[in-house]
Amino acid sequence: MSHLRREVLKVFKTLHRTRQIVFQGDRQTLEAGRKEINNNFRKNRNERNEDEIKKLIQLAQDVNKELRTNVIQAVQEKEGIYRLRLTEETTRLDNVPFNSNAIFEHATPRHYKGKATGGCSEGKTAASVNPK
């Protein structure tokens, strides 16, 4: 059980470090994050089931990863102009422009066997895009 206690303390400290990095300079959000982390750990401090503790540790690690990779701090510099604070860990995706000439064709899912039976989607639940 002592190794689980160490893991809990480690992820607790990691979440607080992440909070300080992600919300740097935003006192209100830093304080709200501190309270949220502390309240959630306090709420579960009497948990004795090892499997449940492991699930809670995994949840905390997932939240930490989500904060580090998907939360972006934006600061308004002037009306309509924002400065984004990106980090090395921030997830960056390719920006694909919208194709207004794309043709959407309905297709049946691969796992579907048999004939469409009607209904609102008439068995056509998947869509594919064919840009021209």
For 20-38, write each residue's pLDDT tens digit.
999 999 999 999 999 999 9
Same domain, 77 and 27: yes
Confidence check: pLDDT of 131 > 50: no
91 found inside a domain: no
Confidence check: pLDDT of 91 > 70: yes
Structure confidence at residue 2 (pLDDT): 84
Q: Is 85 helix (H, G, I), strand (E, B) or coil?
A: strand
Domain count for the chain, please give it: 2
For 43-54, write each residue's pLDDT tens digit.
999 999 999 999
Average pLDDT, the chain: 84
Structure confidence at residue 111 (pLDDT): 60
CA atoms within 13 A on the CB side of 118: 0
Confidence check: pLDDT of 129 > 50: no
The whole-number average pLDDT for the span 75-83 is 91
27, two tokens? 């006192």
Q: Is 129 helix (H, G, I), strand (E, B) or coil?
A: strand
Same domain, 75 and 125: no
Task: Give one DSSP letter per residue of 8-58, joined into a string.
Answer: HHHHHHHHHHHHHHHTTT-HHHHHHHHHHHHHHHHHTTT---HHHHHHHHH
Domain span at 112:
98-132
Same domain, 50 and 115: no
Name the residue with higher pLDDT: 118 or 90.
90
Structure confidence at residue 132 (pLDDT): 42
For residue 55, give Cα distances in angstroms to 4, 50, 130. Answer: 11, 9, 42
Structure confidence at residue 103 (pLDDT): 83
Same domain, 36 and 72: yes
**Position 104: which residue type?**
F
The whole-number average pLDDT for the span 101-105 is 82
Name the residue with higher pLDDT: 84 or 54.
54
